[in-house]
Amino acid sequence: MKTIQELLKDSTTKIIDVRSPGEFASEHLTNAINIPLETIAARASEIIAMKAPVLVYCRSGARSGMAASILKQAGLDSVVNGGSVYDLLFEIQNH
């Protein structure tokens, strides 16, 4: 599996923000799509059909950890918990 830094640099990576639409509207990573945690299970087949590595994130890493687990249980092997939006923004700015 690729590192978070490699996933962020890979243009094929699907970056999914699992926070609420309001949180997403206030700040999010460029190219991220908003799929709130409570809808991840229902949209798992749609995410798997993207046929791309997936990086999920939230505010602290807790919700994205749950989302990654749900997607792995649904059969998606190429999913990584990116943790906090702030950690990822720091990674982007410093690399």
Catalytic site positions: 58
Say which residues have a Cβ less than 8 Å from residue 25's Cβ, sequence separation at least 6: none
SS3 helix, strand, coil % of the chain, rounded to 5? 45, 20, 40
- 60 class by beta-carbon count within 10 Å (0-12 exposed, 13-18 middle, 19+ buried): middle
Q: How many CB atoms are closer than 10 A to CB 53?
A: 19
